[in-house]
């Protein structure tokens, strides 16, 4: 028992360290600032809308649906690793102690999302429903219990069926969760407790089926790998995750761009950098994503100063992140041996980023045409990009 | 005429040197084998010559200049084939050749002539528009070899060239090396395959624990070890044993 406890502890510390390492960059990243702006703007719009929200608004159903769907996705975090299939095999009978900790962690770490969504919806419930504040908070307690049951059931379902047809299990739990929350908010919490009994019966039947089954290591390993990969992909938006190799796509429709670079020794790095940018998904989609966010925000926000700040922040983020990504020297490349001026690479990157900032300015301006002072936007994009290029370190 | 002159070079990745007081030369038109066990310092020596590591002490002259004196000339004077192929995932085979040609100042006509010949020689004509992700290890190696031979430098530096190549690929590479030698180019080749080294190299440098243990033609080496008729394998094993005895004595 003690043994299992230590294994989990060790795993957990390692996992927390790994997540922390990248969280630092995520929290301090430029996109985080954008998120704060977006959240602030959304909060403002929400509070404005609450003032005029119609009393007939189906708030209970909306809350039940959103939270119910979130509850259905209760993927277990087991921290099982590939070598475990070999090294933990002799400890098979002790594994329940390990998984107990894993389920506990899964519950606590995932609880925050449905809880926050529900808490955000409380002003809405107070405005358009007759619920007393005691009922509203009982609703939260009810959701916490539902979350726990969902986590335990998804774990046991995956254990018993090796993850097969998980969509059916999720659909069933999602529908049940939605109905349960809806009942708790509209009828009484005691009637809703019937749903808890159903959940409990489902849980017991699954737990019976898992008894005596070998640990489905392969399924859990795949689950863990996918989860970490998603995290790394996400972290990669903010910083350079070293072991994450970007996918390459030809994007033949952009081949004509390369014709603008004549065959000459002084253009060697331009030849390379243009292709690297266009064909590496990480670089290309970074630009597409940030440009799209800027375009959408300027298309819908009619307060000029807010649009300007967002556009400036995004132009800064685009230029800085692409510059860092394209000038990174962490891996050996053959062009490091080329008999060309060492400054050629940074000059090529600057030229590329000037072009991408102009294209970004054009796209964002076209989307902002309906808004006041839209003609200031291209000036901001180009000036901010240029300043970022010049003032950021080489 | 001396193409490469390594004089009293000491160096490594950290303060603790991997290669110690290394000296050797390569003359025009010579094929020299750099032989040593894993960890003997072959790759470190090569990294110093190509300039990705700088010597802590000593000097490396290539075609008469050091890297510091004339970076352009130094870098133009060699081409390098690494042990594991290093390719751009985002460039096709054709673009690898174009990029290399641009960097070394070849004109388009020369590029066309030389690449047509190399593509045919290494049987890669049909793969011009492929990306490296579709290449096998041997094909990746061939891309590196073609880029190296495209620029016709006075010195070729080839690290473990035969690993991963099919027999026809090895044959083509040896033929190309021989052809370049006839034209007056020099080649420094590091390898573990001693029989091939013995057969093709004009001179051999035996590297052991970061030092040149012995160097010269096969006859020189046989004389140095006092083992007439010995093969390179025999000499090599004798050298490592001798070293062990010295350590135990």
* Chain B residues with CB-CB distance to A342 below 8 A: 71
Q: Is B117 on the interface with A (CB under 8 A)?
A: no
CATH 3.40.50.300 fits B2-77+154-248, yes or no: yes
Q: Find, among A367, A373, A383, A364, the residue nearest to A316 by Cα.
A: A383
For residue B20, what pLDDT band results from cuts at 50, 70 and 90? very high
CA torsion sign for B112, B117, B120, B122 is negative
- pLDDT on residue B99: 96
CA distance A208 to A55: 47
Question: Best residue in B49, B63, B102 to probe A by mutation, most A CBs within 10 Å?
Answer: B102
- pLDDT on residue B126: 94
Q: Which of A263, A333, A337 sits opposite B102 (nearest CB)?
A: A263
Domain spans, chain B: 2-77+154-248, 84-152
- Residue A53 makes CB contacts below 8 A (sequence gap 6+) with A124, A127, A128
Reported as a single tens digit per residue, the pLDDT across A265-318 is 999 999 999 999 999 988 898 899 889 989 988 888 878 888 898 899 999 989
Q: Which residue of B has its CA nearest to A344?
A: B103
Burial class of residue B37, CB neighbours in 10 A (0-12, 13-18, 19+): middle
The one-character DSSP state at A89 is: G
CA distance A127 to A19: 39
Q: Find, among B57, B43, B79, the residue nearest to A338 by Cα.
A: B79
CA distance A93 to A78: 16
Contact A268 B95 (CB under 8 A): no
CA torsion sign for B125, B130, B131, B132 is negative
Reported as a single tens digit per residue, the pLDDT across A229-277 is 888 877 776 666 766 667 889 999 999 999 999 999 999 999 999 999 9
The pLDDT mean for chain A works out to: 89
- Report the Cα A3 to chain-centroid distance in Å: 34
Element (H, E) at A376: helix A376-391
For residue B249, what pLDDT band results from cuts at 50, 70 and 90? low
CA distance A210 to A208: 6
Give the Cα-Cα-Cα angle B145, B146, B149 (nearest 5 degrees): 85
Contact B90 A248 (CB under 8 A): yes
- Report the Cα A36 to chain-centroid distance in Å: 15
Helices (H), A162-280: 166-186, 189-210, 217-235, 268-279
CA distance A155 to A161: 10
The pLDDT mean for chain B works out to: 92
Instruction: At B157, list the tokens.
Output: 């530096």
For A265-268, the CB contacts below 8 A with 24+ separation are A265/A340, A265/B102, A265/B103, A265/B104, A265/B105, A266/A340, A266/A344, A267/B102, A268/A335, A268/A338, A268/A340, A268/A344, A268/B99, A268/B102, A268/B103
Q: What percent of chain A has pLDDT over 90?
A: 56
Q: How far is B207 from chain A (nearest CA, A)?
A: 25
Q: Is B200 on the interface with A (CB under 8 A)?
A: no
Give the Cα-Cα-Cα angle B77, B83, B85 (nearest 5 degrees): 90
Which residue is listed with tokens 């096969």? B218
- pLDDT on residue A272: 96
Contact A279 B90 (CB under 8 A): yes
Residues linked to residue A182 through DSSP beta bridges, in sequence order: none
| For range B176-180, the mean pLDDT | 94
Q: Is B152 on the interface with A (CB under 8 A)?
A: no
CA distance A216 to A162: 6
Instruction: At B201, list the tokens.
Output: 């190299």
Contact B105 A265 (CB under 8 A): yes
The one-character DSSP state at B249 is: -
Q: Is B103 on the interface with A (CB under 8 A)?
A: yes
Instruction: At A196, list the tokens.
Output: 């808890």
The residues in A 269-308 lying below 8 A from B, measured between CB atoms, are: 271-272, 275-276, 279-280
| For range A161-178, the mean pLDDT | 93
- pLDDT on residue A31: 66
Contact B99 A276 (CB under 8 A): no
- pLDDT on residue A383: 96
Contact B75 A276 (CB under 8 A): no
8 A C-beta contact, residue A387 and residue A356: no
Give the Cα-Cα-Cα angle B41, A339, B16 (nearest 5 degrees): 25
Q: Is B67 on the interface with A (CB under 8 A)?
A: no
Q: Is B110 on the interface with A (CB under 8 A)?
A: no
Q: Is B90 on the interface with A (CB under 8 A)?
A: yes
Q: Which of A250, A264, A337 sits opposite B75 (nearest CB)?
A: A337
**Positions of E strands within chain B:** 2-11, 19-27, 31-35, 57-62, 78-81, 155-159, 186-191, 203-208, 211-216
- pLDDT on residue A171: 95
For B17-23, the CB contacts below 8 A with 24+ separation are B17/B56, B17/B210, B18/B44, B18/B210, B19/B44, B19/B45, B19/B48, B19/B210, B19/B211, B20/B210, B20/B211, B21/B57, B21/B58, B21/B211, B22/B58, B22/B210, B22/B211, B22/B212, B23/B58, B23/B212
Contact A339 B73 (CB under 8 A): yes
Q: Which residue of B has its CA nearest to A275?
A: B90
Q: Is B98 on the interface with A (CB under 8 A)?
A: yes
For residue B164, what pLDDT band results from cuts at 50, 70 and 90? confident
| For range B60-67, the mean pLDDT | 95
CA distance B11 to B9: 6
| For range A343-351, the mean pLDDT | 95
Q: How far is A276 from chain B (nearest CA, A)?
A: 6
Q: Is A252 on the interface with B (CB under 8 A)?
A: no
For residue B172, what pLDDT band results from cuts at 50, 70 and 90? very high
- On the question of pLDDT at A393 being above 80, the answer is no
Contact B51 A271 (CB under 8 A): no
Q: Which of A248, A271, A280 sits opposite B99 (nearest CB)?
A: A271
For residue A24, what pLDDT band results from cuts at 50, 70 and 90? confident
Contact B50 A338 (CB under 8 A): no
Instruction: At B246, list the tokens.
Output: 């010295």
Which residue is listed with tokens 């940018």? A277
- Residue A123 makes CB contacts below 8 A (sequence gap 6+) with A47, A50
For residue B246, what pLDDT band results from cuts at 50, 70 and 90? low
- pLDDT on residue A2: 62
8 A C-beta contact, residue A71 and residue A47: no
Contact A335 B103 (CB under 8 A): yes
- pLDDT on residue A174: 95
The residues in B 36-65 lying below 8 A from A, measured between CB atoms, are: 50-52
Q: What percent of chain A has pLDDT over 70?
A: 96
| For range B71-93, the mean pLDDT | 94
Question: Best residue in B13, B54, B90 to probe A by mutation, most A CBs within 10 Å?
Answer: B90
Residues linked to residue B14 through DSSP beta bridges, in sequence order: none
Q: Which residue of B has its CA nearest to A274?
A: B90
- Report the Cα A273 to chain-centroid distance in Å: 29
| For range B136-160, the mean pLDDT | 94
């Amino acid at each position: 028992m003690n043994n299992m406890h230590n294994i989990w502890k060790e795993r957990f510390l390692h996992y927390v360290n790994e997540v922390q390492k990248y969280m630092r960059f995520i929290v301090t990243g430029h996109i985080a600032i954008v998120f704060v702006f977006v959240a602030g703007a959304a909060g403002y719009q929400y509070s404005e809308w609450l003032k005029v929200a119609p009393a007939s608004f189906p708030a209970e159903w909306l809350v039940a649906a959103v939270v119910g769907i979130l509850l259905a996705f209760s993927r277990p975090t087991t921290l099982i690793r590939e070598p475990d299939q070999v090294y933990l095999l002799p400890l098979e009978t002790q594994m329940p102690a390990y998984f107990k900790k894993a389920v506990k962690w899964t519950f606590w770490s995932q609880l925050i999302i449905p809880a926050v969504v529900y808490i955000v919806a409380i002003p809405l419930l107070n405005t358009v429903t007759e619920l007393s504040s005691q009922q509203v908070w009982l609703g939260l307690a009810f959701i916490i219990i539902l979350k726990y049951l969902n986590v335990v059931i998804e774990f046991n379902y995956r254990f018993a069926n090796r993850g097969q047809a998980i969509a059916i299990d999720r659909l069933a739990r999602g529908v049940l969760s939605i109905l349960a929350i809806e009942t708790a908010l509209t009828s009484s919490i005691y009637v809703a407790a019937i749903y808890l009994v159903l959940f409990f019966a489902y849980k017991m039947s699954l737990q019976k089926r898992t008894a005596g089954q070998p640990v489905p290591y392969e399924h859990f390993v795949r689950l863990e790998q996918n989860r970490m990969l998603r995290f790394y992909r996400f972290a990669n938006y903010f910083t350079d995750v070293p072991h994450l190799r970007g996918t390459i796509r030809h994007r033949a429709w952009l081949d004509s761009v390369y014709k603008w670079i004549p065959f000459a020794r002084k253009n060697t790095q331009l030849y390379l950098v243009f292709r690297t940018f266009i064909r590496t998904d990480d670089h290309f989609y970074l630009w597409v994503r940030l440009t799209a966010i800027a375009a959408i925000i300027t298309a819908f926000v009619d307060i000029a100063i807010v649009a300007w700040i967002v556009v400036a922040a995004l132009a800064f983020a685009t230029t800085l992140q692409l510059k860092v990504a394209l000038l990174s020297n962490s891996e050996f490349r053959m062009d490091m041996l080329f008999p060309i001026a060492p400054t050629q690479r940074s000059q090529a990157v600057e030229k590329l980023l000037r072009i991408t900032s102009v294209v970004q300015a054009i796209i964002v301006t076209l989307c902002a045409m309906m808004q006041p002072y839209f003609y200031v936007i291209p000036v901001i994009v180009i000036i901010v990009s240029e300043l970022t290029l010049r003032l950021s370190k080489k | 005429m001396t193409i490469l002159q390594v004089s009293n070079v000491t160096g490594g990745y950290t303060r603790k040197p991997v290669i110690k007081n290394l000296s050797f030369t390569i003359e025009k038109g010579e094929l020299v084998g750099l032989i040593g066990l894993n960890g003997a310092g072959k790759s470190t020596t090569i990294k110093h010559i190509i300039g990705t590591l700088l010597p802590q002490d000593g000097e490396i002259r290539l075609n008469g200049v050091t890297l510091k004196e004339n970076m352009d000339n130094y870098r133009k004077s060699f081409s390098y084939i690494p042990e594991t192929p290093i390719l751009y995932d985002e460039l096709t085979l054709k673009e690898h050749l174009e990029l290399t040609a641009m960097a070394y100042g070849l004109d388009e006509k020369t590029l066309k002539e030389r690449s047509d010949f190399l593509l045919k020689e290494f049987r890669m004509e049909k793969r011009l528009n492929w990306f490296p992700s579709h290449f096998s290890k041997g094909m990746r190696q061939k891309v590196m070899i073609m880029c190296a031979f495209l620029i016709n430098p006075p010195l070729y530096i080839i690290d473990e060239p035969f690993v991963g190549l099919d027999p026809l690929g090895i044959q083509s590479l040896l033929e190309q090396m021989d052809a370049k030698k006839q034209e007056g180019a020099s080649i420094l080749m590091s390898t573990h395959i001693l029989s091939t080294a013995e057969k093709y190299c004009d001179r051999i440098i035996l590297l052991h624990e970061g030092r040149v243990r012995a160097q010269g033609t096969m006859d020189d080496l046989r004389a140095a070890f006092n083992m007439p008729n010995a093969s390179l394998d025999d000499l090599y094993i004798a050298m490592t044993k001798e070293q062990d005895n010295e350590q135990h004595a």
